[in-house]
Structure 1
Amino acid sequence: MSTQKGNTKKSGGPKYKNSSAFRNDVHDTSWKTKQINSMEITGLCSRCSDVIAWKIKYKKYKPLTQPKKCTKCQQKTVKHAYHIICIKCSTEAKVCSKCGESGDVVKSPGLSPSEQASMDSQLQEELKMLPERKRRAFLRNQELGLYEEKDKDKTVEDDIVDEDVEGEEVYDGEKKDDHIS
């Protein structure tokens, strides 16, 4: 088709059409590609998270080989590609790690896998120290969803002590006294 003025009319659709969508892990099964695909996008605004997700989806994401310098604290603590602010500074200032704008951060960063493993092992050690009755009560209440994210700084013993102070035992979400009658 010529780009000549007045000759811009197209006839028909595209000559070739993709029969299937692009997948970035079809021909490349390296550990780096698997690591990039399994990466969790956190600490970004909705626009920046969409940009990073697009880069990952179409194999344009290039991870960092060396940590970058944070623009807030001037330390080499930025470990994610395309970010300009480290996780610590972005959570303190409540800004996007990529663009630096304050606003709605879609998903705030959580614990790293090593920190999560240490927290789980600490919880298991505390549970071993509890009597059987209190351990089962804690696990039952945890399954029911009575322990939430807001109480993460409290220990298991603090939760049990709080239940003992209140003097009420919970039986399937209701007070035990209500079932006796």
Structure 2
Amino acid sequence: MSTQKGNSSRSRPQKHQNRHAFKNTLHDTSHKTKSIVSTQVSNVCQRCKEIIEWKIKYKKYKPLTQAKKCVKCELKTVKRAYHIMCDPCGAKLGVCAKCGQDKEVVVAPPSEKEQIQLDEEMKVLLKSLPERKRRTFIRYMNKSGEEKEEKLQKEDILNKLNALKVDDGDDDLDDFMGLSDDEGDEHNSES
């Protein structure tokens, strides 16, 4: 910018323009740099997430060497750089773990290991369902998969599975006999 008083618009482009984008792994391929680049930013608000991602992208991110003290529980449990709260305190209070403000928190997608574990749990739950309810659940998943704007959460899927899950097996017997609970009681009392 010009040093003239009141001149806030420049009439020329900047003198030194970048020809290539910055690459933080161009000359440094150490283990530390690779671990910093692979860091998942989570449990923070969108603005703080962008700030930390910028620091990672332009090699300004400095990871913690020791755990810091959490401002809420006052224990040395903060393991992520630039955070002021540990993850459990931030989740419990529903605030950003970096700035501490009550904003919408960005949750990290599950890691590959967690995703495999979730898939295994889902398969076990599906096997416990009878065929009719299993097909109902698969139709529900396919229908919700077609609606792109509505994203499925783990809680929604588990709620749907639990709603379909058979408790005792008594319901199947009543369905087989074609009687409701009241009619079944009357039928049993007549015998």
- After TM superposition, the score normalised by the length of structure 2 is 0.63
For the 8 Å contact 1:68–1:78, the answer to whether it is kept is yes
For the 8 Å contact 1:95–1:101, the answer to whether it is kept is yes
For the 8 Å contact 1:91–1:108, the answer to whether it is kept is no
1:75 maps to amino acid: L
Query: In 2, distance between residues paired with 1:45 and 1:157?
Result: 32
2:119 maps to amino acid: D
1:30 maps to what in 2?
30
2:152 maps to what in 1?
148
Give the number of equivalent residue pairs. 156
Structure richer in helix, relative to its length: 2
Structure 2: runs of 5 or more not aligned: 1-11, 146-150, 172-191
Which structure has the bigger radius of gyration? 2
**Is the deviation greater in 120-129 or in 35-44?**
35-44
- After TM superposition, the score normalised by the length of structure 1 is 0.66
Query: In 1, distance between residues paired with 2:112 and 2:22?
Result: 30
Moved over 6 A (4+): none
Query: In 1, distance between residues paired with 2:132 and 2:61?
Result: 51
1:93 maps to amino acid: L
2:43 maps to what in 1?
43
Q: Deviations over 1:98-148 (max 9, x none)?
A: 12222x234135656554443322111122233444333322321221893
For the 8 Å contact 2:129–2:165, the answer to whether it is kept is no
Secondary structure of the residue that 2:159 maps to in structure 1? coil
Query: In 2, distance between residues paired with 1:33 and 1:152?
Result: 37
Query: In 1, distance between residues paired with 2:58 and 2:84?
Result: 22
Structure 1: runs of 5 or more not aligned: 1-11, 165-181
Following TM superposition, by how much is the alpha carbon of 1:90 offset from its aligned partner in structure 2, in angstroms? Answer: 0.8
- 1:123 matched to 2:129? The reply is no
Percent sequence identity over matched residues? 47
2:62 maps to what in 1?
62
For the 8 Å contact 1:62–1:81, the answer to whether it is kept is yes
Following TM superposition, by how much is the alpha carbon of 1:37 offset from its aligned partner in structure 2, in angstroms? Answer: 2.5
Secondary structure of the residue that 1:145 maps to in structure 2? helix
Following TM superposition, by how much is the alpha carbon of 1:78 offset from its aligned partner in structure 2, in angstroms? Answer: 1.6
CA RMSD for the aligned pairs?
3.5
Query: In 2, distance between residues paired with 1:100 and 1:15?
Result: 40
Going from structure 1 to structure 2, the CA distance change for 1:160 and 1:148 (only over 3 Å counts) comes to farther
Following TM superposition, by how much is the alpha carbon of 1:47 offset from its aligned partner in structure 2, in angstroms? Answer: 3.1
Query: In 1, distance between residues paired with 2:49 and 2:162?
Result: 39
For the 8 Å contact 1:63–1:80, the answer to whether it is kept is yes
